[in-house]
Amino acid sequence: MKRLFLATLLALVASPCAFAGPAAHEARARALYATLIGYETSVGKGQVPAMAKVLADEFHKAGFAESDIHLLPLGETASLVVRYPGDGSGGKPILFMAHMDVVTAKREDWQRDPFKLIEENGFFYGRGTYDVKDGVASLAATFLRLKDEGFVPARDLVIVFSGDEETEMATIQDLVKNHRDLIDAEYALNSDGGGGTLGEDGKALYYNVQTAEKTYASFELTVRNPGGHSSLPRADNAIYALADAIKALQAHRFPTQWNDTTLAYFAAAGKMTPGALGDAMRAFAANPKDEAAIEVLAATPGEVGRTRTTCVPTLLRGGHAENALPQSATVTVNCRIFPGVAVDAVKQVLQDVVGKDVEIATLGAPTASDASPLREDVMAAVAKAVHARHPGVLLVPSQESGASDGLYLRAAGIPTYGVGGMFIKDSDAFAHGLDERVPVQGFYDGLEHWYVLAKEVAGKK
């Protein structure tokens, strides 16, 4: 009987036209998930284009037109854009996003092979199972399922798979700058953001809809000095001067800020958070100028980023010999900038804080983006998808202190919403870490999440 089941499953996986029901859809999605995990798509490995081609081939086999499948190489990586044409009766296209790359995983450090999908103890293990090849597999499988069913949306639905979100984010920038016609849309739904939280008892607590991201920007602060022999110390030591600048930065606090997303977040989170922190959340939501609430939130690492721009020193170097006075000393300061605040404005604040004798250089080319509006139609569609699996669960708008490809779409005028399909316990969230894993049921529930959501936003009732 077991052999018969395996033979049937393999036959289903090999034959796209055989996928008509939900169970078959899940089998194909799992097989695709396993294939994707098998590609070591971390930086320097050059495997993203190969994985993108596998995905492109799946869409070809399913009957997507050649003109609707765009595999776009960029250096060692690539992006993939796939269009599911509508009948033209709806509005502008809707984007569905994920990234194909993963962070580096050292095989020798893992208990299991990080580049093999392993199902064990109710979990799927492997690098990218959570960040974010579950999103790649789920979105691809959703488009294939809709194609099998002959579904025709009222508007075009477009998949955007980027290739280097974990590093340079060059592929999404290339799409925005050089292929805007392929990705222009009314809004985007990002699998690499948002998602549901389970309690330790496995019950669904709430679902985050990510509507904003802070801007990631790093600066180098440098003090220079003529130096000299260490046996002839002077008061104007470059390291001393840099230390003074760092202490000045430590004492500085950027002003309190808020937007519709953060106020809605604190109002909702405050209802579920016990003690003084919950009280402060509710008080801040009611009055974001409440000083007592501000102080509590400022002292909480997980919440302070939702109330202001933050800048912290992360790297330090100085001097050139142990028997010489330092000719320079440099600190790298990493900032997470509140949505809507210009990078140059933060740089000027840093200059004012540390003084004119400290040189400040911006690293790279950081991009700022505003928060996406809390659209009623988007929130309603996401609520339908979430409540199909977890009836009545509270939806909470959230602002991410990190960054994803979504920031470049927001900056380009395409509102973006993180609406990942996974519900997971905080204690099981090992993205970027050892033995990354997701609940098996969470993966299958995510398939249904994207299926319901795609049909809801497609414009066909």
Q: What is the pLDDT of residue 141?
A: 98
CATH of domain 2-193+404-457: 3.40.630.10
- Residues 458 and 461: their CA atoms lie apart, in Å, by 9
Task: Convert the pLDDT of each residue in 193-220 to its tens digit.
Answer: 999 999 999 999 999 999 999 998 999 9
Q: What is the pLDDT of residue 6?
A: 35
The pTM (predicted TM-score) of the whole model is 0.87
Q: What is the pLDDT of residue 371?
A: 92
Q: What is the pLDDT of residue 400?
A: 87
Q: What is the pLDDT of residue 10?
A: 35
pLDDT under 70 in the chain at which residues?
1-22, 430, 460-461
Instruction: Please give the C-alpha separations between residue 109 and each of 105, 112, 122, 274, 421, in angstroms, as whole numbers.
Output: 8, 9, 22, 38, 29
Closest CA to 139 of 416, 459, 450, 442: 450
Residue 72: alpha-carbon gap to chain centroid: 21
Closest CA to 312 of 252, 241, 256: 252
Contact indicator for 47, 35 with CB cutoff of 8 Å: no
Task: Convert the pLDDT of each residue in 61-110 to its tens digit.
Answer: 999 999 999 999 999 999 999 999 999 999 999 999 999 999 999 899 99
Please state the domain extents for the chain.
Answer: 2-193+404-457, 215-363
Closest CA to 103 of 68, 131, 69: 131
Q: What is the pLDDT of residue 246?
A: 98
Architecture of domain 215-363: 2-Layer Sandwich (3.30)
Strands 94-99 and 157-162: parallel
Q: What is the pLDDT of residue 13?
A: 39
Q: What is the pLDDT of residue 378?
A: 97
Q: What is the pLDDT of residue 68?
A: 98
Backbone phi, then psi, for 126, in 5-degree steps?
Answer: 150, 150
Contact indicator for 248, 457 with CB cutoff of 8 Å: no
